[in-house]
Amino acid sequence: MKVYYEQDASLEKLKEKKIAVLGYGSQGHAHALNLNESGMDVCVGLRKESQSWQKAEEAGLTVYTISEAVQKSNVIMVLVPDQTQKEVYEAEIAPNLKDGDTLAFGHGFNIHYKSIVPPENINVMMIAPKSPGHLVRRTFQQGNGVPCLIAVHQDPSGDTLELALAWAKGIGGTKAGVIETNFKNETETDLFGEQAVLCGGSAELIKAGFEVLTEAGYPPELAYFECMHEMKLIVDLYYEGGLTRMNYSVSDTAEYGGMTRGSRLINQETKNEMKKILTEVQDGSFAKEFIEDNDAGQKRLNELREINKNHPIEKVGSELRKMMSWAIKANEK
Ligand code: NAD
Ligand code: MG
């Protein structure tokens, strides 16, 4: 698999274009600010009533309504939430697209599941940072970047890959490595990863460990440090040097205990359930369920948010983290 680095990408193609970044949330602010500082001609598109309007202007960016931003630009990056992209596309993007414009996404969801079908005369590309937006920004400010996936879905102009690479370079991605993929693979692996491992799997593992310890009578503060706080320290070791570095750094006791006990938890049964989760991603039933919940006013999402917010680990955690603001601040630097 080809990985692109700094010398493989040029900003020139993108420099000639007028760029709009729609949305100024986690990813939007990072893409807009990084590209601006890379010397690109960027504006931001937002709803008139958006809280972010003033924030983006204060950061030195030009802000228009979404319709105006699309009209004024020829490369348009859609960074509003996945579940609202279809509505925004139909009302404000599609009517303002011009022949040869390029539509860009930070995640393949709406193109892959066909809730957005751009006309044939429009280039369609993706630049998906493998990272939360705030790290896309922070690593760039530190002179680095995060790994990105890029993909081209439609290419009537013939140079969309170059443009995607330029974008990835402009936000810092080629410092870390950029991999070319397609919308299907990015979307399906991204959804599976966040459901089974990153967000779903890790959160449930942490909560279950905390519950087992506190139900057995151990103090919640101890359980919090053990099951949530230390998770970051372990994950940092994976990040630096994989399983080997983690096992090298922990004690032999932890290494032996982990290797003999972990596989009793994450076993064939767990993998079978992971395969079901992957099937729901592949056949579109997860996407359908998520969009239906959104159309019902995010009923289930809000119920689940409420349950999580009230979990005892959140109460004890918020108290303990107040005493550790130094640690959180140091990590942001
Ligand atoms: P976000 O929720 O942080 O920000 C969304 C922005 O869109 C905000 O500025 C908000 O004001 C605006 N917005 C919300 N509803 C809107 C509407 N109805 N009309 C117009 N504007 C609206 O979103 P995000 O997490 O940055 O996600 C944006 C895209 O980036 C998604 O496709 C997501 O899958 C992708 N992505 C996100 C991350 C991440 O770390 N959050 C990582 C990789 C890819
Ligand atoms: Mg992801």
SS3 track for 7-55: HHCCCHHHHCCEEEEECCCHHHHHHHHHHHHCCCEEEEEECCCCCHHHH
Residue 186 Cβ inside 6 Å of ligand 1? The answer reads no
pLDDT tens, residue by residue, 63-117: 999 999 999 999 999 999 999 999 999 999 999 999 999 999 999 999 999 999 9
Under 8 Å CB-to-CB from 154, ≥6 apart: which residues? 118, 120, 122, 123, 124, 160
Residue 81 Cβ inside 6 Å of ligand 1? The answer reads yes
Residue 50 Cβ inside 6 Å of ligand 1? The answer reads yes
Q: How many Å apart are CA 20 and CA 79, to the nearest integer?
A: 10
Report the pLDDT value the prediction gives residue 327, as an integer from 0 to 100: 67
The full DSSP string for 294-313 is: HHTTSHHHHHHHHHHHTSHH
- Over 60: is that where the pLDDT of 332 sits? no
Report the pLDDT value the prediction gives residue 325, as an integer from 0 to 100: 77
Q: Which atom of ligand 1 is nearest to the CA of 66?
A: 20
- Over 80: is that where the pLDDT of 30 sits? yes
Pick the more confident residue, 333 or 145: 145
Secondary structure letter of residue 283 according to DSSP: T
Residue 119 Cβ inside 6 Å of ligand 1? The answer reads no
Residue 170 Cβ inside 6 Å of ligand 1? The answer reads no
Helix axes 230-249, 252-265, angle to 10 degrees: 110
Candidate of 49, 76, 79 to mutate for ligand 1, largest count of ligand atoms within 8 Å of Cβ: 79
Closest ligand to C-alpha of residue 91 is: 1
pLDDT tens, residue by residue, 43-63: 999 999 999 999 999 999 999
Report the pLDDT value the prediction gives residue 141, as an integer from 0 to 100: 98
What does the mean pLDDT of the chain come to? Answer: 96
Under 8 Å CB-to-CB from 175, ≥6 apart: which residues? 5, 6, 139, 143, 144, 145
pLDDT tens, residue by residue, 190-224: 999 999 999 999 999 999 999 999 999 999 999 99
What is the average pLDDT across 250-265? Answer: 97
Q: How many Å apart are CA 90 and CA 93, to the nearest integer?
A: 6
Residue 25 Cβ inside 6 Å of ligand 1? The answer reads yes
Q: What SS3 state is found at 116?
A: coil
Q: How many Å apart are CA 117 and CA 21, to the nearest integer?
A: 19
Q: How many residues comprise the chain?
A: 333
CB neighbours of residue 108 within 10 Å: 26
Q: To the nearest whole percent, how much of the chain has pLDDT over 90?
A: 96
Candidate of 21, 26, 109 to mutate for ligand 1, largest count of ligand atoms within 8 Å of Cβ: 26
pLDDT tens, residue by residue, 116-155: 999 999 999 999 999 999 999 999 999 999 999 999 999 9
- Over 50: is that where the pLDDT of 172 sits? yes
Tokens for 305, please give them: 């948010």
Active site residue 107: yes
Q: Is 327 exposed, middle or buried (0-12, 13-18, 19+ CB in 10 A)?
A: exposed
How many Å lie between the centroid of ligand 2 and the Cα of residue 251? Answer: 32
Helix axes 133-141, 26-37, angle to 10 degrees: 30
Q: How many Å apart are CA 208 and CA 210, to the nearest integer?
A: 5
| Continuous H helices in 182-298 | 183-192, 200-215, 220-224, 230-249, 252-265, 268-282, 285-295
Contact 79, 31 (CB under 8 A): yes
Closest ligand to C-alpha of residue 148 is: 1
Under 8 Å CB-to-CB from 136, ≥6 apart: which residues? 27, 30, 31, 34, 129, 145, 146, 171, 172
Report the pLDDT value the prediction gives residue 324, as an integer from 0 to 100: 84
| Continuous H helices in 89-199 | 109-112, 133-141, 160-170, 173-176, 183-192
How many Å lie between the centroid of ligand 2 and the Cα of residue 191? Answer: 7
What is the average pLDDT across 261-280? Answer: 98
- At residue 311 the predicted structure's pLDDT band, cuts being 50, 70 and 90, is very high
- Over 50: is that where the pLDDT of 287 sits? yes
At 188, which amino acid appears? E
Which residues keep their CB under 5 angstroms from ion ligand 2? 190
The active-site residue out of 107, 112, 134, 229 is 107
Report the pLDDT value the prediction gives residue 333, as an integer from 0 to 100: 45
Residue 95 Cβ inside 6 Å of ligand 1? The answer reads no
